[in-house]
Amino acid sequence: MDLKSKIKWMTLLITGVIGMLALLLLIFYLLLPEQSRYLLTQMESHIGNTLTAIFLLLVIVGLLIDICFRLLVVPFNQIVEETALIGSVNSRHRIRTKSGPVFGPLAKAINGMAVRFEAIQQYDQEKIKSIRAVAEKERNMLAAIMAELPEGVIVCNIHGSILLYNQQARQLLSGIVQDPEAAPEALIGLWRPVYNVIDRYQLQHALDEIQTKFKESDKNAAAYFVTLGSAGQLLRVEVVPVLDHQKAYAGFILIFQDITQRLQSAGEIEGTLTGLGREIRASAASIRSAIEAIRSYPHMEPAQLARFREVIFNEAVALGGVVGKLDADCTLERKTEWPLAPISVSALLEMIQRKARGTMNIALEADEELPQHFVRADTYALGMVFYFIMERIQKENGPVPFTLRPHRQDSFIHIDLSWPGKPAKIDMLRTWDDCLLEAREEHLPFTFKEILRYHGAEIGAFACPGRAHESCLRLFLPACDAIPLAPARRVTILTQSRPEFFDFDLFGQAAPSPQIAHRLLSDLNYTVFDTETTGLNPSEGDEIVAIGAVRLVNGRLLREESFDQLVDPRRPIPAAATRIHGIRPEMVKDRPGIELVLPRFHQFSADTILVGHNVAFDMRLLQVKEAATGIQFTQPVLDTLLLSAVLHPAQSDHTMEAIAERLGVSIEGRHTAMGDALATANIFLKMLPLLAENGILTLDDAMSACQKTFYARIKY
């Protein structure tokens, strides 16, 4: 019997006693004075019998109230709760309450109606199942296609929350960590921020570039950049906007290609071409020298002439070999897989000037009479080159102003960066080559020299014509025509009747807010977890031997995004504990300790609500490790045991098995961390509509209701 039922029972008992006392007073009031005095005299003379009679009367009244409560009140409340379950979340449930002669026929009638209701539901479900069969087939086809795509794909909403990803993206960006002692990897998952796996500044720059293209009605609204993957590989990233049915910006798609091998091949090709160029120049020089000698001395001795002819022949043969090598290697093309897109020089410099505003003083001077010129560029990377240069010049000269002056000469665009102060020496430029590009709070995992090489650019120090007081650096960039490298990727537009694949519902959800107390329970994301231990006394040294967890996002259980880890407790596992959860000492040998597992679980559960069954015990296990690991779980916590007591106060059994049976949830792998986590997750999903029916809509409502239950007072 729960606290609420005990309070009702005590209230009825007190009410009965007060009623009995009121009845006695009424009897005394109705008696004549002589009769009242006689009755009092008799009671005083037989005080023992009088008290005994009063006590027996109270006992009889209490027993009558208890019998009425047990035969009428408790069965009635239980039947009401179980009937609500049949009509809401579990049509297979049947009333098993000991209803007695009073409510027995009612329970039998309700069970009969439940059988018919279940049959109707099954018929409707079969119809719905057949209607959805085609859609399910198409969804499975889409999932299979997504899984087999050679590129990694991530779809995000406007806030950068992940709505869809495929396995290629997961492998490229978060990898599969085999070493249990490795640092926690970047996590990719539904509704997690994409900035966990992509540099925020690079992605934001690409999104800003897309917005600019929208304003300018540019048909090629995609943007490109290069980043590092989980294993240090180079990834080419294409960012494509997603528009809703009204053509308003609704999110973006990221497409990833591993270009590491291609870039390495391009570098090898460039080295090969450089070596071949040296060989050609040397052979040509030898042939030219021999011919010039023959022409200068037409009457030279035959032996000398023969030697010169031999030189010409040998060098001609060598040149033939070089040409043959070039012809045989069909891959020798000076191309790069770096995503370089055409951009006008004026737009490039305006972007540099706009982004540097507030941190550096930059003036832009251009010859307006020059026609519009274009270069191929990764605008983010090339912009970082300029910021890198300016920061280092300001370290030498202080906060000097800069001027950018572009002009074209032959097939190159020259961009002069000038400033008043000391010039940049050749030795200084050489020291920059191997420096990683870092400026302000941003950085790229590539060196200054690498970015210049991928752009086919060179840099040198020059004197400014007519400006003797200024120093100047000139960047040489190959000019190009304003023709895209590849056909523009079509912008994705969502139809008004949205597709039912994955979690595109999240396009319309609000950005995660730290103030979540008043958010609807259905709008929150959850990590449902369970632990297995060496015993039941965390404060006395019992340790965790396993943690299992799954995520709930948008009302869906994400089985693919799970956390299942055995933990070495570094103490014996009692046989009694092994009989419950089946974890033997040899199973946790060489497994990571809690100091390594807890940071991973903390990262896995970040920005979610924790959910567990009898979770006070699990939270106590985590709390006792705070001092040793430095890890604190500060997010809100919900307990399915307490929620069950809130939803079904008339039920006396709130164990996981009892709740699962009431709600129609099957339990697989009971007393394993992952099995109990999955069961708890399914129970919690069944509880959400029941909570809403009871007016418990927000997180604050749920936590307040739980705190009022008897079980909330249990401490570990």
Query: pLDDT for 536-579, tens place per residue?
Result: 888 888 999 999 999 998 888 988 889 999 999 999 999 999 99
Cα–Cα distance, 294 to 305 (Å, whole number):
7
Q: Is residue 119 part of a domain?
A: no
We report the CATH number of the domain holding residue 224 as 3.30.450.20
Domain count across the chain: 5
- pLDDT one-digit tens code per residue, 678-691: 999 999 999 999 99
Q: Is the pLDDT of residue 208 over 70?
A: yes
**Which residues, in sequence order, are bridge partners of residue 253?**
155, 240
Question: Tokens 């609420």, residue?
Answer: 4
Looking at the structure, tell me whether residues 464 and 540 fall in a common domain: no
Q: What is the pLDDT of residues 307-321, one digit of tens each?
A: 877 877 777 777 766
Query: pLDDT-derived band of residue 90, with 50, 70 and 90 as boundaries?
Result: confident
**Pairing state between β 442-447 and 436-439:** antiparallel
Q: Is the pLDDT of residue 654 over 80?
A: yes
Same domain, 408 and 324: no
Residues 315 and 376 in one domain: no
Tell me the pLDDT tens digit for each residue of 575-604: 999 999 999 999 999 899 999 999 999 999
| Residue-level pLDDT at 716 | 47
What average pLDDT does the segment 189-209 reach?
89
Helix (H) or strand (E) holding 639: strand 637-639
The per-residue b/e assignment along 608-620, b for 16 or more CB within 10 angstroms, e otherwise, is: bbbbbbbbbbbbe
Q: What is the mean pLDDT of residues 164-171?
A: 85
H runs (alpha helix) in 357-445: 379-397, 426-432
The residue with greater pLDDT, 607 or 4, is 607
Confidence of residue 28 (pLDDT cuts 50, 70, 90): low
Q: Same domain, yes or no, for 401 and 302?
A: no
| Helical (H) or strand (E) element with 546 | strand 544-553
- Close Cβ partners of 148 (under 8 Å, ≥ 6 residues apart): none
Amino acid at 510: A
| Structural domain contains residue 117 | no
The pLDDT of residue 207 is 92
Please check the confidence at residue 676 and state whether its pLDDT lies above 80: yes
Decide if 173 contacts 151 (C-beta within 8 A): no
- Do both 323 and 355 map to the same domain? no
Last residue of one domain, picked from the residues 259, 284, 312 = 259
Residue 246 and residue 295 in one domain: no
Q: What tokens does 142 get?
A: 């889409």
Catalytic residues: 671
pLDDT in tens, 240-290: 998 877 778 889 999 998 888 766 655 555 556 666 666 777 777 777 777
The predicted pLDDT at position 488 comes to 55
The angle subtended at Cα 65 by Cα 62 and Cα 70, nearest 5°, is 120
Region label for 608, one of left (φ > 0), alpha (ψ between -120 and 50) or beta (otherwise): beta
Note whether 313 and 233 are same-domain residues. Answer: no
pLDDT score, position 213: 84
224 in the same domain as 160: yes
Is residue 523, in this structure, part of any structural domain at all? yes
Residue 613 domain-assigned? yes
Instruction: Classify residue 333: in a domain, yes or no.
Output: no
pLDDT computed for residue 687 by the predictor? 93
What pLDDT is attached to residue 245?
Answer: 75
Q: What is the pLDDT of residues 467-477, one digit of tens each?
A: 777 888 889 99
Q: Check whether residue 357 and residue 474 sit in a common domain.
A: yes
Query: Are 377 and 462 contained in the same domain?
Result: yes
Band of pLDDT at residue 182, cut at 50, 70 and 90: very low
- Does residue 143 fall inside a structural domain? no
H helices then E strands: how many in the chain?
21, 20
Query: Which two three-digit tokens encode residue 486?
Result: 């590849």
Q: What average pLDDT is seen over the chain? A: 78
Q: How many CB atoms lie within 10 A of CB 288?
A: 12
176 pLDDT tier (thresholds 50, 70, 90): very low
589 and 709 assigned to the same domain: yes
**Contact (Cβ atoms closer than 8 angstroms) between residue 184 and residue 600:** yes
Residue 459's domain spans which residues?
341-480
**Percent of the chain at pLDDT exceeding 70:** 71
**pLDDT by residue (tens digit) across 494-522?**
544 333 334 444 445 544 455 788 888 98
451 within a domain of the structure (yes/no): yes
Cβ atoms of residues 95 and 107 within 8 Å: yes
What's the token pair of residue 39?
């009755």
Judgement on whether residues 454 and 570 belong to the same structural domain of the protein: no
480, 500, 525: which is the final residue of a domain? 480
